[in-house]
Structure 1
Amino acid sequence: MKPVRILFVCLGNICRSPLAEGLMRDLASRAGHSSAIVVDSAGTGAWHIGDPPDRRSIAVARAHRIDIAGLRGRKIGAADFAAFDLILGMDSANVRDLLALAPSTAAEKVHLFMHYAAGRHNDVPDPYYETADAFEALYQMLEAGCSSLLAKLERAS
């Protein structure tokens, strides 16, 4: 498989993007592509720099045998636009913010996650103010998107 570096981005980097990072890493590993697919996550905001993922994201990942507890929140930086091949925003607002930050030479790397991964122009909803059930729904949506993304990457190789 052709190597690819993917950055998942949401608002605070504690709910959606770290769960997508852990999920994609797990799927790539199970498919034998861990050396070809490098994943990371970041937020457009700086509120949670250094914080672990939301406890509900950690719990839903753990329920699906994925460990994201060691991840730490960070804010996207200028170097990320050069370091990653794909920068996938979880919702339209994230994509708008990413495009405002991206140098013109890197704008083509920025995409709405579900549109790029599955051809659906859907935002991945932010579950932060929701109950634990919303995190299971988030997991299911991200799992479908990451599975589609992995299949797309495999076909492109």
Structure 2
Amino acid sequence: MRRAAAQAGLVLEIDSAATSSYHIGKVPDLRAFAAAERHGLDISGCRSRQIGPDDFLRFTHIFAADRGVLKSVRQVVPHGSIAEIALMLDCVAGRAGQSVADPYFAKESAFDKTVADVTAIADALVKRFNR
């Protein structure tokens, strides 16, 4: 998303957070690094953090990868939230309501599919925010 926004000349604050604390401070899976590199992306600066109440006051949009995450996010929305909350693929034509597949328990090639989905999401969001 950062690359797509920068290429479009958009100045956006972009972050990523998990709904659980399980991997706080950890780097992405090595297979994610490999898939990102194959697609020309650098995720070396990524570290896991947990979503918090301030995120709903700081960000205008919060996108969830799947329905389980969406449900978890909606359960922690604080009073006064300014964030629009939706599934990531809701912004991609023909993919509304779909989840980004979690490649963790799949073959390494599944990480490439996830990168392709996230790239399509980033491109769609850039178009949306560039209007």
**CA distance in 2 between partners of 1:75 and 1:82 (Å):** 15
Root-mean-square deviation over aligned CA pairs? 1.4
Instruction: Show the counterpart of 2:99.
Output: 123
Task: Classify 1:148/1:60 alpha carbon distance in 2 versus 1 (closer, same or farther; 3 Å).
Answer: same
Matches within 5 A, 1:1-150: 24-33=1-10, 36-106=11-81, 109-115=84-90, 117-119=91-93, 120-150=96-126
Q: Deviation above 4 Å: which 4+ runs of structure 1?
A: none
Pairwise CA distance, 1:128 = 0.8
Aligned residues: 129
More strand by share: 1
**CA distance in 2 between partners of 1:104 and 1:66 (Å):** 36
Give unmatched runs, 5+ long, in structure 2. Answer: none
More helix by share: 1
Give unmatched runs, 5+ long, in structure 1. Answer: 1-23
User: How does the TM-score come out when normalised to structure 2?
Assistant: 0.92
Instruction: Show the counterpart of 1:16.
Output: none
Q: Which amino acid aligns with 1:91?
A: D
**CA distance in 1 between partners of 2:40 and 2:92 (Å):** 24
Pairwise CA distance, 1:103 = 1.7
